[in-house]
Chain A
């Protein structure tokens, strides 16, 4: 038993363990290890859905444009996208900077991991369907136009590091009030709080499962705050979410990118 679910390289299964998100450590067989002493695999395997413009600041940046072509009016339903399986990677896996991009946008996202098959879930019962939370870097090539699906910008290999673990939901009193900080090369580059969600977690789950089922192991990325840091090859990114954990990855040139490498 423990407060987290982990997938450590070499272990056949996802297992429960006791972790300390503040000290970035895990207890295995009674010994405390720092996260960097172990190799981590992404602790999730389902479909990953992202939500666009779910932070008030991110939404308001588009407010003016929403009245005009091609958008014409503000969105009604959550704006969703899918991060396919080729994007999935883990703690300390490198993030490739494609040759056709100058820089990448860091997407500091609280990931909600689904625990039970969720169809037409009521907002007040939504947390019954949540297994836990994880830290996700929802990487994208910067793009201003959001009229067409951004597959080229969001679905590149390695563009979705997840981890290092899933914190079980019981450890998080209120997922709609968590500090998020992004550090680039050790310097604070972005700070926000999930209280700035337009749709809080339960509302998102209700609005999404109204028309599509989420399955155990699926991950819902709850949005990326405004003023996302831009990074280049060589930059080290750490995303901290209060009580959930810290996710670290380094950007590398695509030519140097090998899946499974650790930097």
Chain B
């Protein structure tokens, strides 16, 4: 099942996807354009992975890491489907990153990779923007690059784990103004979803609703004001964002 959180007529609803329509929790059926899309998960701790696809690491002139490069994101960054993200004036390089987002379903500590999927609630699409002009070599990637307001659209849907038999073999694509600019496959992750859950829970507790953004493949291209950026993952969803 595909689940969403939406707002309409001053009310926040939970909704499920039904043949291209949204069925709200009060049983009303509406279209995608009738609602304001909220992030499908109310974020708590949000993890992100740097350099988790070998081709992207190479693109940025890095060797593939031997340990996951993890950083954290604040709730200020998270917005929903059809949101707008501000490109700071006077920067040269702001890029999207299409990422498979894994949502944790229950408290997890010292979980083995072989049991990791038991702790997954579902999946959504994330677009984890970055402004490379602000990169500094302290706790890199620093928050000024990755933790800007509205810099991480997620959605449209939270897709139940049961509907995605193999999350480690999904095509990811990004389109800017309709042109394909990024394409990859989750099978090329360096650290797989089970490995990431084992790694994180080996030293800390994950909680219900925590989100792991699993990294992006190569194809990071600058975006400009006015661009429509669509990040899409096979079977999970198609997330639209506009640069303003």
Q: Is the CB of B45 within 8 A of A86?
A: yes
Contact of A149 among B44, B139, B205, B207 (CB under 8 A): B139
- Tell me whether B75 is interfacial, beta carbon within 8 Å: yes
Residues of B within 8 A of A212 (CB): 74, 76-77, 143, 147-149
Chain A interface, DSSP helix/strand/loop, else mixed: loop
Residues of A within 8 A of B205 (CB): 86, 157
Interface size on A, residues (CB 8 A): 36
Which residues 143-188 of B have a CB within 8 angstroms of A? 143-144, 147-149
Select from chain A the residue with minimum beta-carbon distance to B205. Answer: A86
Q: Is the CB of A80 within 8 A of B143?
A: yes
Residues of B within 8 A of A156 (CB): 203-204
Q: Is the CB of A79 within 8 A of B73?
A: no
Smallest Cβ distance from A82 to chain B, in angstroms? 4
Contact of B138 among A75, A86, A211 (CB under 8 A): A75
- Tell me whether B137 is interfacial, beta carbon within 8 Å: yes
Residues of B within 8 A of A84 (CB): 44-45, 72, 204
Smallest Cβ distance from B73 to chain A, in angstroms? 7
- Give CA–CA (A112, B94) in the complex, Å: 31
The answer to whether A82 and B74 touch (CB under 8 A), given A77-B144, A212-B149, is yes
Most buried by A among B140, B141, B207: B140
Smallest Cβ distance from B216 to chain A, in angstroms? 17
- Tell me whether B59 is interfacial, beta carbon within 8 Å: no
Q: Is the CB of B139 within 8 A of A85?
A: no
The answer to whether A119 and B149 touch (CB under 8 A), given A85-B207, A152-B203, A212-B74, is yes
Q: Mark B56-97, 1 if CB is under 8 A from A, else 0.
A: 000000000000011111111100000000001000000000
- Give CA–CA (A70, B139) in the complex, Å: 11
Which residues 34-76 of A have a CB within 8 angstroms of B? 47, 49, 52-53, 70-73, 75-76
- Tell me whether A148 is interfacial, beta carbon within 8 Å: yes
Q: Mark B127-147, 1 if CB is under 8 A from A, else 0.
A: 000000010111111111001
Residues of A within 8 A of B142 (CB): 77, 79-80
Residues of A within 8 A of B71 (CB): 149, 151
Select from chain A the residue with minimum beta-carbon distance to B150. Answer: A213
Chain B interface, DSSP helix/strand/loop, else mixed: loop
Contact of A147 among B45, B140, B207 (CB under 8 A): B140
Q: Is the CB of B75 within 8 A of A211?
A: no
The answer to whether A151 and B136 touch (CB under 8 A), given A80-B143, A80-B147, A212-B149, is no
Contact of B72 among A71, A73, A148, A151 (CB under 8 A): A151
- Give CA–CA (A215, B147) in the complex, Å: 14
The answer to whether A85 and B44 touch (CB under 8 A), given A71-B137, A80-B143, A149-B139, is yes
Contact of A86 among B73, B136, B144, B207 (CB under 8 A): B207
Smallest Cβ distance from A84 to chain B, in angstroms? 4
Select from chain B the residue with minimum beta-carbon distance to A213. Answer: B76
Smallest Cβ distance from A181 to chain B, in angstroms? 28
Smallest Cβ distance from B14 to chain A, in angstroms? 23
Select from chain A the residue with minimum beta-carbon distance to B200. Answer: A151
Q: Is the CB of B139 within 8 A of A215?
A: no
Select from chain B the residue with minimum beta-carbon distance to A210. Answer: B144
Smallest Cβ distance from B242 to chain A, in angstroms? 19
Which residues 15-71 of B have a CB within 8 angstroms of A? 44-45, 69-71
Residues of A within 8 A of B69 (CB): 148-149
Q: Which B residues contact A (CB, under 8 angstroms)? A: 44-45, 69-77, 88, 109, 134, 136-144, 147-149, 203-207
Q: Which A residues contact B (CB, under 8 angstroms)? A: 47, 49, 52-53, 70-73, 75-77, 79-82, 84-86, 98, 100, 119, 146-152, 155-157, 211-215
What 10 pairs between A and B have smallest CB-CB spacing? A82-B72, A84-B45, A80-B143, A149-B71, A79-B138, A86-B205, A213-B76, A149-B139, A151-B70, A71-B137
8 residue pairs A–B, Cβ–Cβ below 8 Å: A70-B137, A86-B207, A146-B139, A149-B70, A151-B72, A151-B204, A211-B144, A215-B75
Task: Please give 13 more A-B residue pairs, beta carbons under 8 A apart, in addition to A73-B137, A149-B72, A151-B70.
Answer: A49-B143, A53-B138, A71-B137, A77-B134, A79-B138, A81-B139, A84-B45, A119-B149, A148-B139, A149-B140, A155-B72, A211-B88, A212-B148
